[in-house]
Amino acid sequence: MKTRNSERSLRRLKVLGLALLVWAIILAGRLVQLQVLGHDRFRAEVIEQNQNIRTVPPLRGTIYDRRGEILARSLPVQSVFLSPSDKETPEVQCRALDRLSGILALSREEKDRIEARIRKRERFIYVKRKIDDDDAEAVEALHLPSVFLQEETKRFYTQGRLAAHVLGYVDIDEKGRHGVEKVFNEALSGVSGQSLILRDAHRRAYHLEVLKRAVPGRDLELTIDQNIQYIAQKILARAVESHRASWGTVVVSHPGTGEILALASYPDFDPNQAAAPSEAEPNRAISVIFEPGSTFKIVTAATALDNGAVKVEDRFDCSEGAVALSGNFVRDHKPFGILSFSEVLSRSSNVGMIQVGRRLDRWNFYAAMKAFGFGETSGISLPGEVRGIIHPPAEWGTNGQAYQSIGYGVSVTAVQVLQAINIIANDGVLFPPRIVRNAAGTPAAGGKSVVPAPIAREINAILRGVVEEGTGTMARIPGYPIAGKTGTTQKWDGALRRYSSARHLASFAGFVDTQPAAFSMVVVIDDPQGDDQYGGLVAAPVFREIAHWLLLYRRIPPVPIASRVLTADLGSGGRR
């Protein structure tokens, strides 16, 4: 009996042992399958379910003006996102979205887009990015599962519209889209980091672990002075509106360094808004070309003196008041009689300057235009700059040289005109315009001699006469030596295929003629309406008002000015 029971027990033990062995083999095989054969796949699934790697944007560099005032900076803000749980149905998530919608003012289109992503069971869904603090607190107070806040940064332009065309703006990801934000985007952006979003087994807990720290972007210092910029924008806007003009631009610079102290374009925009209006976005100082008219006579006059084609005392017969060019008449606003070379420029006589231009070798004239910077970009480090248009002599035709000598048949930008006046203000030396002081890869360029210093001083003296007794008297500031040149250009009417006598572009380019020149400025007003359409009546007063304020701001004292006497009839100044 005992033997039989013992045999039974032994069999049971063997069966149990065999079962345990089989179970151990199965368990070992499963472990091999999970930890060896399927390790990579199962690990990826676990990571997929319980963590998410996100890019951490770096803090974008701050932009300062030349005095260290902040113009643009990035600050921490919160963004709302969904990280849905597998146990929550899309309907539950959509109900949570409805509750968020009231706080975040989501549009119907935004809600539809998010709901579509919820139903696709996406792991990470932005609801709204870069919200204000009050909205962030309200979202947090809802305590909605799978709704989280993530810290990002948002770009703020501290002075609103100030220098908008210089600064530009960024998109939602803080990528530069205009202005220096675009040109220096890489330097300002820094290097992105990485963070790991971790969840518990129920996918409810939220934890952010930094894997790689972001490297902040580099700061940028501009040549702009925000105080000068403010005045330039204010006075320009008032002038454009009062004359019911299409647009206007003002650029203020220091001739001896090329540094831009203010660059204003109107209409303007607020870079804090989502996007600039299409009519306001162009930086018209560098991206719009126009025929310069009489301001271009500076180039003609300087080239003629430099090449020995004329002397200051040479005289020209302007008594007819008009000159015929292939059946078309180019006129002065009145007959001047006999004018000296100086008087031709100071009175802005088209008839006289055409005679000067005809004495020039056309290839020398073309080379001078190029040397003055026309037909080439200035390299000002702003996007959208155009080259302008100057044609080679082979394309000038019979009267091309005559027209170009008075600023027609060439197309320029406001900054190019500023370069021309800076050459005269700086004894014939050009320093290319600069908008950034400390950007890597943009060292200050050395000066380039364009015309001999004695020639530049001769033109300088004549331009003093333009302001004291010629067409630019509205730019005169008592107690200060002002030199400059007016410009009034008839605009081309494409429909009529001729220049319009009713539409003009008014301009003035000038400088304060201290030693060295304190500052220079170009003013361009497009298509002013009403009786005042001339550069001397529309643009020169803008120069005077900005310059007068700037002289006080920079504490530049008045200086004694020797009187000048011009022998021509100068009684009706302020027109050309």
DSSP character string of 123-148: S-EEEEEEE-HHHHHHHHHH--TTEE
pLDDT higher than 60, residue 533:
yes
**If you average pLDDT over residues 26-48, what whole number do you get?**
62
CA angle 16, 21, 26 (to 5 degrees): 125
**If you average pLDDT over residues 293-310, what whole number do you get?**
96
Query: What is the structure's pLDDT at 439?
Result: 63
Q: Which comes out higher in pLDDT, residue 12 or 479?
A: 479
Helix, strand, or coil (residue 152): strand
Per-domain residue ranges for the chain?
52-221, 226-268+284-553
The DSSP annotation for 339-383 comes to: EEHHHHHHTT-HHHHHHHHHTS-HHHHHHHHHHTTTTS----S-T
Query: What is the structure's pLDDT at 570?
Result: 33
**Spatial contact of 516 and 258, defined as CB atoms under 8 Å apart:** no
What is the band of 547 on the pLDDT scale with cuts at 50, 70, 90? very high
* Percentage, residues of the chain above pLDDT 90: 58
Query: What is the structure's pLDDT at 96?
Result: 83
Measured distance CA(176)–CA(185) in Å, rounded: 5
The pair of three-digit structure tokens given for residue 251, joined into one six-digit string: 């650029």
What is the band of 82 on the pLDDT scale with cuts at 50, 70, 90? confident
* pTM as predicted: 0.84
Measured distance CA(81)–CA(130) in Å, rounded: 11
pLDDT higher than 50, residue 53:
yes
**If you average pLDDT over residues 218-243, what whole number do you get?**
97
**If you average pLDDT over residues 49-54, what whole number do you get?**
60
* Percentage, residues of the chain above pLDDT 70: 88
Answer CATH for 226-268+284-553 from 3.40.710.10, 3.40.50.2300, 3.40.50.1380, 1.10.10.10: 3.40.710.10
Measured distance CA(322)–CA(503) in Å, rounded: 20
pLDDT higher than 90, residue 326:
no
Q: What is the 3-state secondary structure (H, E, C) of 411-466?
A: EECHHHHHHHHHHHHCCCEECCCECECCCCCCCCCCCEECCCHHHHHHHHHHHHHH
What is the band of 198 on the pLDDT scale with cuts at 50, 70, 90? low
Q: What is the pLDDT of residues 423-461, one digit of tens each?
A: 999 999 999 999 999 765 555 567 899 999 999 999 999
pLDDT higher than 50, residue 205:
no
Helix, strand, or coil (residue 106): coil
Q: Which comes out higher in pLDDT, residue 92 or 286?
A: 286
**If you average pLDDT over residues 13-36, what whole number do you get?**
73
- The mean pLDDT value of the chain amounts to 87
CATH class of the domain whose range is 52-221: alpha beta
Strand order in the sheet with 193-198: 51-56, 193-198, 207-212
Measured distance CA(374)–CA(390) in Å, rounded: 7
What is the band of 118 on the pLDDT scale with cuts at 50, 70, 90? confident
What is the band of 2 on the pLDDT scale with cuts at 50, 70, 90? low
The pair of three-digit structure tokens given for residue 543, joined into one six-digit string: 């120069």
The DSSP annotation for 459-522 comes to: HHHHHHHHHHHSTTGGG--TTS-EEEEEEEEEEEETTTTEEEEEEEEEEEEEEE-SSS---EEE
Measured distance CA(438)–CA(86) in Å, rounded: 52
The pair of three-digit structure tokens given for residue 265, joined into one six-digit string: 């374009």
Query: What is the structure's pLDDT at 438?
Result: 74
Q: Which comes out higher in pLDDT, residue 84 or 550?
A: 550
Which letter, b or e, does each residue of 429-462 get, where b requires 16 or more Cβ atoms within 10 Å of its Cβ? bbbbbbbbbebeeeeeeebeebbeeebbebbbeb
**Spatial contact of 301 and 311, defined as CB atoms under 8 Å apart:** no
Position of tokens 């020639």? Answer: 455
Neighbours of 73 (CB within 10 A): 18
**If you average pLDDT over residues 8-24, what whole number do you get?**
74
**If you average pLDDT over residues 284-312, what whole number do you get?**
96
pLDDT higher than 60, residue 565:
no
Q: Of the ranges 79-93, 156-170, 230-244, which one carries the lowest mean pLDDT score?
A: 79-93
**If you average pLDDT over residues 499-506, what whole number do you get?**
87
DSSP category for residue 38: T
Query: What is the structure's pLDDT at 352?
Result: 94
Query: What is the structure's pLDDT at 38?
Result: 57
**If you average pLDDT over residues 212-240, what whole number do you get?**
96
pLDDT higher than 70, residue 52:
no
**If you average pLDDT over residues 193-204, what whole number do you get?**
62
Query: What is the structure's pLDDT at 530?
Result: 87
Measured distance CA(210)–CA(221) in Å, rounded: 31
pLDDT higher than 70, residue 246:
yes
Position of tokens 């020169």? Answer: 540
Measured distance CA(411)–CA(216) in Å, rounded: 42
Q: Which comes out higher in pLDDT, residue 411 or 562?
A: 411
What is the band of 564 on the pLDDT scale with cuts at 50, 70, 90? very low
**If you average pLDDT over residues 127-156, what whole number do you get?**
87
The segment with the largest mean pLDDT, out of 6-15, 440-449, 543-552, 563-572, is 543-552
**Nearest CA among 493, 466, 496 for reference residue 482:** 466
